[in-house]
Amino acid sequence: MKLLKKEALPILFEKINSAGKVIYAPVENHGQLVYQRVSAYDEVKKDYIQTVQSAKYVVFPKIEKLLDYQNSKDGTSLSEAVIDELPEIVLFGVRPCDAAGFDVLKAVFTWDFNDKFYIERAKKLTIIGLSCSKCDNECFCTSVGLNPGSTKGSDILLTKNNEGDYLAEIVTDKGQAMVSLCTDLFSDHKDDNKENYLTKVPVKFEKDAAIEKSTKSFENEQIWFDQAMRCLGCGACTYVCPTCSCFDIQDEGTSSKGIRYRCWDSCGLSQFTIHTSGHNPREEQSQRWRQRILHKYSYQPERLQVLGCVGCGRCSRSCPVDMNIAEHVETIAEIEL
């Protein structure tokens, strides 16, 4: 355990900047907390619970170019998007739930195919996490196998103590590399019990029960129908979620030149599964809602050995009609089979 004094933070930022890296941290923008590029520590929002949007766009932007194409009489030429010149990014102030979310993205993007766009960005990303001294009603990290001080996914995890200084756990080699930029800022510290500075997040449901019951509830149409009735079928929950990773690929341009890009897509949208024939296997919202829950609580655990939900609660906060995922999963976990 190291200690990072509060006066050291602005200096840490300066050191990171001079090393040519770019820092992203929570700032207030248009009345909301979002992760944005910052140059100095004083721009960072202090004392908050959670941002509205997740930080996943640093490894999975809302839109990115895949390739350029050009048609001429000699044929078609393609040039792939250049990704080796991406900057090194340091994400500062990421909550433990969000940090764990990056592990889920990694599982998806390196599962059966190595997504080079994700990989290149993830290689250049260092995560400085910040554990939670406060939580709200929507947080439920403790129900999905995490906790407010979890180091999963973070390269360095900071925990603020009562003096306003930060206990620093150097979790990975990348974290160590970050520390070596400014070793004098990190002093050795007698093992302080970080639990003293963490909030308590009440457990809402039992994780394994949630996984088991959701897996076995595929054919229980009533429960999905009941839960999904008010769901509007927009993509708000998907896009603010730190682990959702579905995307659409489109070509845009003229017959002579254009680009191919990928952008975020949502399984909640009605046309998500429409086939070229016109058939839509998920025509009703209850089917789409079922897919959302099962994808996170059944398919991903089974096939990727990772739970697809990190309990950040963003979806519940952003949903226009209060689709509260913890509430829904709690109901499922309590089904009598």
Partner 1 sequence: MDNLIKKAKELLENNLVQVVIGYEKGNTQKSRPVFIFKAENADKLIYDESCHYNLASYITRQEMRHTGKMAVVANIHALKAMLVLANEHQFIEGNVIALAVDGSSDVTELKTFSEIEEYIASHPVELKEKEKVLLEKIKALSKEERWEFWQNELARCFKCYACRAACPMCYCHQCTVDCNKPQWITVAPHQLGNYEWQMMRAMHLAGRCVDCGACAEACPLDIPINMLTYYLSESIESNFGFKTGTSATKLYVLSDYKLEDKENFIR
Partner 2 sequence: MENFEPKIVAFVCNWCTYAGADLTGTSRIKYAPNVKIIRFPCTGRIDFMILMKAFVNGADGIIVSGCHPNDCHYTSGNFHARRRWMVFRNLLDIMGVDLERITFSWVSAAEGAKWAEIVNSTVDKIKKLGPYENYKKLADSQQLKEVIHG
The residues binding partner 2 (CB under 8 A) are 24, 34-37, 53, 57-58, 61-65, 86, 252, 259, 261
Cα–Cα nearest to 51, from 121, 130, 107, 106? 130
Candidates 19, 63, 78, 177: give the one binding partner 1 (CB under 8 A).
63
Between 63 and 181, name the residue whose CB sits nearer to partner 2.
63
Total count of residues recorded for the chain = 337
Q: Does 184 bind partner 1 (CB under 8 A)?
A: no
Question: How far, in Å, CA of 211 to CA of 248, rounded?
Answer: 28
Sites for partner 1 among residues 135-174 (CB under 8 A):
137-138
Beta bridge partners of 279: none
Question: How far, in Å, CA of 184 to CA of 46, rounded?
Answer: 24
Q: Does 320 bind partner 1 (CB under 8 A)?
A: yes
Question: How far, in Å, CA of 194 to CA of 201, rounded?
Answer: 15
Size of the site for partner 1 (CB under 8 A): 45
Sites for partner 1 among residues 232-271 (CB under 8 A):
232-236, 238-240, 248, 250, 252, 261, 263-264, 266, 269-271
Q: Which does 303 bind (CB under 5 to 8 A by kind): partner 1, partner 2, none?
A: none
Q: Does 110 bind partner 1 (CB under 8 A)?
A: no
Residues 297 and 211: beta-carbon distance below 8 Å: yes
Question: How far, in Å, CA of 93 to CA of 157, rounded?
Answer: 9
Shortest Å, Cβ 171 to partner 1: 30
Question: How far, in Å, CA of 92 to CA of 46, rounded?
Answer: 12
Between 36 and 110, name the residue whose CB sits nearer to partner 2.
36
Between 145 and 258, name the residue whose CB sits nearer to partner 1.
258
Residue 283: Cβ within 10 Å count: 12
Between 100 and 228, name the residue whose CB sits nearer to partner 1.
228
Cα–Cα nearest to 11, from 36, 35, 42? 42
Candidates 52, 81, 83, 107: give the one binding partner 1 (CB under 8 A).
52
Q: Which does 52 bind (CB under 5 to 8 A by kind): partner 1, partner 2, none?
A: partner 1
Question: How far, in Å, CA of 15 to CA of 184, rounded?
Answer: 12
Question: How far, in Å, CA of 295 to CA of 283, rounded?
Answer: 17
Question: How far, in Å, CA of 85 to CA of 99, rounded?
Answer: 24
Q: Under the rule (CB under 8 A), what is the footprint of partner 1? A: 29-32, 34, 52-53, 62-63, 137-138, 225, 229-230, 232-236, 238-240, 248, 250, 252, 261, 263-264, 266, 269-271, 283-286, 316-322, 324, 327
